[in-house]
Amino acid sequence: MRENYRNLKVAVLGGGTVGSEVAYRLLHNREELGRRIGAELDLIGVAVRDVTKARRTDVPADLLTTDAHSLVVAADIVVELMGGIEPARELILLALESGADVITANKALLAHHGPELFDAAAKVGAQLYYEAAVAGAIPIIRPLRDSLAGDEVHRILGIVNGTTNFILDLMDTKGQSMEEALQIAKDLGYAEADPTADVGGHDAQQKAALLAQLAFHTAIPLESVGREGITEITLDQVNQAKQAGYVIKLLAICERVAQDGGGYGVSVRVHPTLVPRSHPLAAVHGANNAVFVEAEAAGSLMFYGAGAGGPETASAVLGDIVSAARRHVVGGPGVGESTHADLPVVDPGIVPTRYQISLSVTDQPGVLAAIATVFSEAGVSVETLSQSTPYGENHESQTATLVIQTHQASEADLSHTVEKLAGNPVVHQVTGVVRVEG
Amino acid sequence: MRENYRNLKVAVLGGGTVGSEVAYRLLHNREELGRRIGAELDLIGVAVRDVTKARRTDVPADLLTTDAHSLVVAADIVVELMGGIEPARELILLALESGADVITANKALLAHHGPELFDAAAKVGAQLYYEAAVAGAIPIIRPLRDSLAGDEVHRILGIVNGTTNFILDLMDTKGQSMEEALQIAKDLGYAEADPTADVGGHDAQQKAALLAQLAFHTAIPLESVGREGITEITLDQVNQAKQAGYVIKLLAICERVAQDGGGYGVSVRVHPTLVPRSHPLAAVHGANNAVFVEAEAAGSLMFYGAGAGGPETASAVLGDIVSAARRHVVGGPGVGESTHADLPVVDPGIVPTRYQISLSVTDQPGVLAAIATVFSEAGVSVETLSQSTPYGENHESQTATLVIQTHQASEADLSHTVEKLAGNPVVHQVTGVVRVEG
C-alpha cells in the first residue's frame, strides 16, 4: 500500500466494452470521484492488444498502449479487464508484487488461480478486489466479505447466469421451447454464438466457487463444484413444474453441510432446480441475477439486479477503484460521509408525483363529467378514472365510489384540486389521496 | 487509528437485546472472528445503566459496568447500542477523540447529529460505522458507500420500517382493517404499545435522511424530509389499490431531481405509496424490509431481508466490528479471502436433495402401484405423485405422464431408482429428473 499519494495512478488493462466504459467514466467523472475519495485519480493508460483496433474513440488516443508491463509497474491501482488466464494472471502478479492494488472482473482467472493471487496480495499488504466478477453490478462480494463477516453463512442460492435465466424465464412465461428461447437469447445478444459456457453451467460453476470460498473461508477447487447445465431441460418439464407450483431456475448452491463423523463440510454445485413460486428467487425474470443468502443471525437476505452489461459491470469496477483509492488516503474524508455535493434539498411539496384519489359521490348521470371538469380546470391530468366496486355499507345506497389516478402533478395543484372536489355538490367525501410510484 | 495492535479492545455500550447478543457472539465466536480478522478481539466490558438489571446472564458479571466513560477511553473499538441522544452522543465523541473506531445502530442520533459525529471521526482519521442503523441485517450502507461509490444514484425507494409493512401487508393479504392489523402487530411484538414512531413515519424519516445523505453526498436536515405516516390509510383504499393492480407501501423516497434553474436538487420524503404489483417491492411481505436503488450505470438493484430483530441487528453490528478491526491489521490476511476454515469440500453426489422425476408410462390400471413399488424398494420416499395433463402429441395415445416429487434422497439412491424405473416394463421413458430447493 503506497500511502498518502495525493494523485493516484490508475492503469486499465483491456479496451473492450467494460474497459472503455471504465476509462470513460474515470476521465469524465474525475472531479466528482476525486471529491468522494479525497484524492484525484490519474488514468495513466489503457493497455490494448492492437491500438488501431481500440473500439471506443472517446478514450484519447495518447492513453492507448500495447505495453501493459510498463503501465502496470507505474500504477498505484491496476484494473484488469482483459479476461482469459494469461497474460492477465502474470500482469496481476506483477502489479501486486510492485505494491499496487488490483481490481479484476475475471471470474475464470479467480476460480482457477484465486489462492495464488490472494496470497501474493496478502504478502505485500495489497488488496485484490473483484466485485464485478460475480453477478455484475449487484454488490455481493462486499456484503459476504464484510457485512456478514461476523455471522455464519449457512447457504447461498444464486441465480448468477443471466443467459440461462433469460432462456428458462422465456420457457416458463411464454411457453417457448429450449431451442426457440436460445435462438431469441442469441438474437437479442443475451447468448453468444457458442453458448456452451452459459448453458453448460461453466460460468455459474466459476461464480459458485468464488461465492463458496468467501462464505465458508475454504478453498474451493473448481473441479469439486458439481455442474449440470440447462441443455436437458424440456418445455414439458417447465410446464410440469408450473403445474406443481414451481419454476425451474439454474441455481448455484453453496451449502454448509453436517458431516457424518461430526463437524461441517461444504457442498457447492450448479444445476437446474425447482424453486417454489412463493420463493423470492422465483420472481427473478429475464437476464437478471439474484443471490439469496441464509445466515445464522441475519436470516434470509436477497441481492437482486442486472448480472451483466458494460455499464453495470463498470459500476462494480468503479466502486472497487474508489474503495482501493480510499485505502491510500488515510486521514481523508470519512468514507462516503462527505457532503461535498451539497445539493439543495428540495421541498417535497414541489416534486411532481402521480396520485390516486378516491371519492364517494352521488350515483347519478353527469357525475363523471362534473368530476373530470374539476381536474381539467385545476390543470391536473387524469390517467384513469374508474367506478370502484363499493365496499362496506354504501352498496345499496345512492352513493358510488370513484377512483381517479392522475398523471404527474405538483402537491400544490393536487391540494387545490382536492379542495375543489370537496366543495363540489356531487362529492360526498374525498375518501383517500395516495401517491403512486414505480 | 491505532495500528498493529494484535489484540483489539472492544467496548459495548448498552446491555439490551442487541448489546447482549453482540457481547455473547464476541465471546463465543472469539476464535473464528480472530481468524477472519487476523487479530483477536478482547471484549473489555459492557456498559449498562444498572448492573443488577442486566438481562442476559451469559454475559459474565465481571464484564458489566456502569462506568461507560472509563470503558470508552480504554477501547480500540466502541460499539454504541444504548439508543437515544444523550449520553450516546457524548460517549461517541469521547471515543472518536481518543482515536477509537465507533460502531452504532443509533439512527435517531445519526439523523440529528450525523455531521458533527462524522466530522469528529474525520478529524482523527477514525471511522464511524452504522450498517445496523438502516434496514437491520440488510447490507445497504456499505453498498451505497462503497459499491456504488463510482456510480450516480438517481433514486432510492425503500421499505425501511417493518412494523408498517407488516400492518399494510395484513390489510392487503388478509383484508384486515388498520385497527385490527395494528392490534395483531402489537400482539406479535411487531409494534410497540405506543406505535407513533413507526406508524407516524418518524422511524422511516430518520432512515430516509441517512440513505439520502450517503447516496447524494449532501447533508439532509431531518426537518427537510417530508413525512406522512400510514394512520390515514383505510381498508377501502387498500382494496381500491388492489383492484387497480397496486399495493400500498410506506416508502422512503430519496430522489435526485432536476431543478428549474438547471443543476440538481435532492428530494427526500416518506409517505404511503401505490406500488404496481409487478414491482419487486410489491413482493416484500410481513415485517421484511427492502431497498430498491436506481443508479445510472448499475441500473436497478434491490436489497431484501429482515429489517429488525436482535440477532439480525447483531449480525450487522458484528460485520462492522470486523471491518473496523481489519483496518487495524495492516498486512494481515486479505480481507475475507483467507481460507483458514479449510472445511472439507463434499462430493455433491452425497448431499441429499429432493427430486422431481417425470415419467412417460403406459396408461393402464396398476401402473401407479408398480411405480410406487420401485421407489419404496429403492428406499426413496415419495412426497407427491401426480398424473400430469399431457402436453404435445401423446394426449390421444395410451401414454400418461407421471410426475413424482421425492423427499430428500442421495444422488446414489436416486440414480439407482431412475435405473430401475427405466427398466420397468410400464415405463416408456424417464423424461426428466430435476432437483428441488427452497
Whether residue B180 is found in the same domain as residue B266: yes
Contact: A150, B29; criterion CB under 8 Å = yes
How many Cβ atoms from other residues are within 10 Å of residue B123's Cβ? 12
pLDDT digits (tens, 9 = 90+) for A119-161: 899 888 888 999 999 988 899 999 999 899 999 999 999 999 9
Q: Angle at which helices B107-124 and B88-97 pack, to 10 degrees? A: 20
Which whole number is the average pLDDT over B114-119? 90
**Residue A298 domain flag:** yes
Number of domains composing chain B: 3
Which residue reads 410489491 in cell numbers? B282
Percent of chain B with pLDDT over 70: 93
Kindly tell me if the per-residue pLDDT of A389 is higher than 80: no
**Residue B339 domain flag:** no
**Residue A335 domain flag:** no
Whether residue B151 is found in the same domain as residue B274: yes
Is A249 considered catalytic here?
no
For residue B262, give the 3-state DSSP assignment.
coil
B252, B192, B257, B250: which is closest to B222 by C-alpha?
B252
Whether residue A322 is found in the same domain as residue A380: no
pLDDT digits (tens, 9 = 90+) for B159-215: 999 999 999 999 999 999 999 999 999 999 899 899 999 999 999 999 999 999 999
Q: Cα B421 to the chain's mean position, in Å?
A: 43
Higher pLDDT residue, B57 or A184? A184
Residue A350 corresponds to which amino acid? I
Whether residue A323 is found in the same domain as residue A369: no
CATH number of the domain enclosing B167: 3.30.360.10
When pLDDT is cut at 50, 70 and 90, the band that residue B335 belongs to is: very low
pLDDT digits (tens, 9 = 90+) for A159-217: 999 999 999 999 999 999 999 999 999 999 899 899 999 999 999 999 999 999 999 99
B287, B328, B278, B292: which is closest to B307 by C-alpha?
B287
Whether residue B148 is found in the same domain as residue B230: yes
Of residues B122, B220, B356, nearest to A274 (C-beta): B356
Whole-structure pTM value: 0.89
**Residue A333 domain flag:** no
Higher pLDDT residue, B328 or A190? A190
Kindly tell me if the per-residue pLDDT of B388 is higher than 80: no
Whether residue B148 is found in the same domain as residue B88: no
pLDDT digits (tens, 9 = 90+) for A217-249: 998 999 999 999 999 999 999 998 998 899 999
Contact: A266, B345; criterion CB under 8 Å = yes
Whether residue A377 is found in the same domain as residue A300: no
Contact: B315, A297; criterion CB under 8 Å = yes
Query: In the predicted model, what is the mean pLDDT of chain B?
Result: 89
A367, A305, A326, A289: which is closest to A39 by C-alpha?
A326
DSSP A228-295: --STT--HHHHHHHHHTTEEEEEEEEEEEEE-TTSSEEEEEEEEEEEEETTSGGGG--TTEEEEEEEE
A270, A27, A257, A235: which is closest to A134 by C-alpha?
A270
**Residue B317 domain flag:** yes
State residue B300's pLDDT score: 95
Whether residue B166 is found in the same domain as residue B283: yes
**Residue A95 domain flag:** yes
Of residues A273, A275, A437, nearest to B251 (C-beta): A437
Kindly tell me if the per-residue pLDDT of B394 is higher than 60: no
Mutate to test the interface with A, among B1, B173, B236 (most CBs of A within 10 A): B236
- Residue A130 C-alpha cell reads as 473483484
Whether residue A17 is found in the same domain as residue A162: no
Residues B337 and A128 sit within 8 Å (Cβ to Cβ): yes
Q: How many CA atoms lie within 13 A of B128 on its CB side?
A: 33
Look up the ipTM and state it: 0.88
Q: How many CA atoms lie within 13 A of B403 on its CB side?
A: 21
Which whole number is the average pLDDT over B105-112? 94
Whether residue A130 is found in the same domain as residue A184: no
Q: Which of B207, B242, B249, B420 is catalytic?
A: B207
State residue B4's pLDDT score: 44
Whether residue A178 is found in the same domain as residue A145: yes
Give counts: helices (H), strands (E), chain A: 14, 16
Of residues B114, B304, B435, nearest to A301 (C-beta): B304
A319-333, B153-167, B382-396: least confidently modelled range: B382-396
State residue A54's pLDDT score: 67
Which whole number is the average pLDDT over B304-324? 92
* CA–CA gap between residue A143 and residue B301 (Å, rounded): 14
CATH number of the domain enclosing A357: 3.30.70.260
What radius of gyration, in Å, describes the C-alpha atoms of chain B?
28
First to last CA, chain A: 44
CATH number of the domain enclosing B43: 3.40.50.720
State residue B301's pLDDT score: 96
How many Cβ atoms from other residues are within 10 Å of residue A267's Cβ? 25
Range of the domain at B411: 348-436
**Residue B336 domain flag:** no
Whether residue A36 is found in the same domain as residue A118: yes
**Residue B1 domain flag:** no
How many Cβ atoms from other residues are within 10 Å of residue B433's Cβ? 20
DSSP B182-244: HHHHHHTTSS-SS-HHHHTSHHHHHHHHHHHHHHHT----GGGSEE--STT--HHHHHHHHHT
How many Cβ atoms from other residues are within 10 Å of residue A320's Cβ? 30
